[in-house]
């Protein structure tokens, strides 16, 4: 909101007729930069962004801070706010420096917006993002699998026939593995026997696990007595 002569006011607009000299311009609320629900297109885009879980807490908090009853209270969550209420709020200043203080105990947020605002966004995310979106994805995948089965010819087969065709395709696709020939050089034969040893894989796995354990033992304090020995190891 735009305030020219005061910080915030917690009275309805009709209560300020006694002090028109406090204002150069009456406070006006300004929509946020990411859009609002005052326009159909912007509102639809906001709902789409919320369904995509893109910055939805900011939109929810702005809706919760809406000034439904025109108290013109600054909706910032500072030390002035206690349990959703404002104790006292400065209205303006006289020429001699004396400050006006409005009566406290005014709601900074109306309870319907403060309660139903988050509830709407939670329900919208639950149904719009999780349930409906997953249903659409499931329908698309089901249609894709059906078209794929029709193209492969298995759509008109029984379950046993489709499994037999899949088994035949797997057998055709399989190729025998080529065995490695032992090297002829003596110095290469020792390395070949080492890497083809059954315990060699277990030894490598043990080295990896030991390295991970030493990495887990790293502490935040570099002056720890055993830290130097652990890092050296």
Helix (H, G, I), strand (E, B) or coil at 93: strand
Contact 90, 6 (CB under 8 A): yes
User: Which structure tokens are listed for 178?
Assistant: 């080529």
User: Which structure tokens are listed for 84?
Assistant: 């959703």
**Average pLDDT, whole number, for the chain?**
70
The DSSP bridge pattern shows strands 106-107 and 99-102 to be unpaired
How much is the average pLDDT of 75-84? 40
Q: Residue 102 has what pLDDT?
A: 38
Predicted TM-score (pTM) of this structure: 0.40
Q: Residue 231 has what pLDDT?
A: 64
Angle in degrees, CA 121, 126, 131, rounded to 5 = 145
Kindly report, residue by residue over 177-220, the tens digit of the pLDDT. 777 788 888 888 988 888 888 899 999 999 999 999 888 877 66
Q: Residue 113 has what pLDDT?
A: 64
Kindly report, residue by residue over 133-168, the tens digit of the pLDDT. 888 899 999 888 888 777 666 666 777 877 888 888
Q: Residue 146 has what pLDDT?
A: 80
77: confidence class by pLDDT, cuts 50, 70, 90: very low
Q: Residue 210 has what pLDDT?
A: 92
């Amino acid at each position: 909101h735009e305030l020219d002569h005061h910080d915030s006011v917690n009275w309805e607009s009709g209560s300020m007729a006694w002090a028109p000299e406090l204002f150069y311009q009456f406070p006006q609320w300004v929509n946020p930069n990411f859009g609002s629900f005052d326009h159909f297109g912007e509102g639809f885009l906001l709902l789409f962004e919320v369904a995509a879980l893109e910055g939805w807490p900011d939109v929810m908090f702005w809706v919760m801070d809406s000034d439904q009853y025109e108290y013109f209270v600054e909706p910032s969550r500072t030390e002035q706010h206690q349990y959703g209420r404002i104790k006292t709020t400065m209205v303006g200043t006289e020429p001699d420096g004396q400050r006006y203080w409005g009566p406290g105990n005014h709601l900074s947020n109306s309870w319907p917006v403060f309660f139903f605002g988050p509830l709407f966004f939670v329900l919208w995310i639950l149904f719009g993002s999780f349930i409906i979106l997953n249903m659409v994805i499931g329908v698309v995948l089901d249609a894709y699998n059906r078209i794929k089965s029709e193209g492969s010819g298995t759509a008109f087969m029984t379950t046993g026939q489709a499994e037999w065709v899949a088994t035949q395709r797997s057998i055709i696709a399989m190729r025998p593995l080529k065995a490695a020939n032992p090297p002829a050089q003596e110095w290469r034969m020792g390395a070949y026997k080492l890497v083809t040893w059954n315990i060699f894989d277990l030894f490598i796995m043990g080295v990896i696990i030991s390295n991970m354990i030493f990495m887990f033992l790293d502490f935040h304090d570099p002056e720890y007595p055993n830290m130097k020995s652990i890092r050296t190891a």
